[in-house]
A = this chain, B = another copy of it.
Amino acid sequence: MKEPVLIVGSMAFDDLEMPYGTFNDVLGGAATYAAISASSFAPVRVVGVVGEDFPAAVLETLASRGVDIAGVERAAGKTFRWHGRYAADLGSRETIHTALNVFADFHPKIPVSYKTSPYLLLGNIHPALQLDVLAQVERPKLVVADTMNLWIHTERKTLRELLGKVDVISINDEEAKDLTGHGMLRKAAEAIRAMGPKRVIIKKGEHGAALFDDDGVFFVPAYPLEELRDPTGAGDSFAGALLGVLASLGRTDGAAIRQAMIIASTVASFGVEGLGPERLLTLDRAALGERLRAFESMMNYGGPLPTLP
């Protein structure tokens, strides 16, 4: 029996202004992306909140993938909604409007049956809520947290308290620089590790991701796509798949995390090929396995390096 992953975070609708058109009511939210990705590998439990407008069919889709949705609260009001506009090359985006709606009063309540979840992903919510989740559960075998610039700038003290209590922080390059003031990733990562997390994963979008831990630095490239359609949720897909793979392996060691990062980067590469999570929902093991072989090839230099000529 594979061990379950508990995911806490936002569930949302996104209105996406893409260079190729505008799309409203796209399924979104960090917990949504992470749960869909993680559920390709392990049982998933989700704690989040949706409004009265959230379709039962979406929850049924999640449930059909082995996602336990007992922790998804349905509150009076509307679902969290993010309206974003992407640049022509999809390399950057701006927020046009954020309507927190029911998410404004989100206080994660961890169901009793979830409290012993061995793998925990704290999605990007207020760090006080992330701490509150940790206070409600038995110490998991592995806690991975995400955060964002907003909390780095407005809730630094609480964020620092959180960092003292997580095993892995997943953060993008700009956030790592903001959090530490260091422009060089190695220095930023070491400064974050000094705040608590044993391992720091720095996400670099189309340039892949880097892990910094006691064993050094490890890089996983991003798969070079023929076409990029929607980068929304790529980091969440990555984190979800990472936890799902680790849970399915029942491991938390550095080698397992390195292997899981490759699989997670592969999953995320499929995610950005579709609008919202649509491609993740149709992803099968054959396609995933085939692209995984390409990842091995991308990192394989044909045996040991020659002794210096």
Contacts and interface: CB of A to CB of B under 8 A. Distances in A.
A187 interface: yes
Given A204-B207, A216-B298, A299-B301, A249 B309 contact: yes
A289 interface: yes
A228 to B, nearest CB: 7
Contact of A219 (B41, B183, B221): B221
B217 A301 contact: no
A174 to B, nearest CB: 12
Given A183-B89, A218-B297, A301-B218, A259 B225 contact: no
Interface in A88-142: 89
Contact of A308 (B219, B224, B263): B263
20 contacts: A184-B227, A186-B224, A186-B226, A189-B224, A204-B207, A215-B297, A216-B297, A218-B301, A219-B221, A220-B301, A248-B309, A249-B306, A255-B303, A258-B301, A259-B301, A259-B305, A259-B306, A285-B308, A288-B308, A296-B304
A308 B292 contact: yes
Given A2-B309, A184-B225, A255-B302, 11 more contacts: A186-B224, A186-B226, A208-B221, A218-B297, A245-B306, A249-B309, A255-B303, A259-B301, A263-B308, A292-B308, A296-B305
Interface in A60-102: 89
A245 B262 CA distance: 29
B184 A228 contact: yes
B309 A289 contact: no
How often does this chain occur in the complex, in copies?
2
Interface in A147-164: none
Interface in A268-285: 285
A294 interface: yes
A210 interface: yes
A256 B258 CA distance: 25
Interface in A172-205: 183-187, 189, 204
A301 B220 CA distance: 9
A169 interface: no
A254 B300 CA distance: 11
A189 B224 CA distance: 10
A42 interface: yes
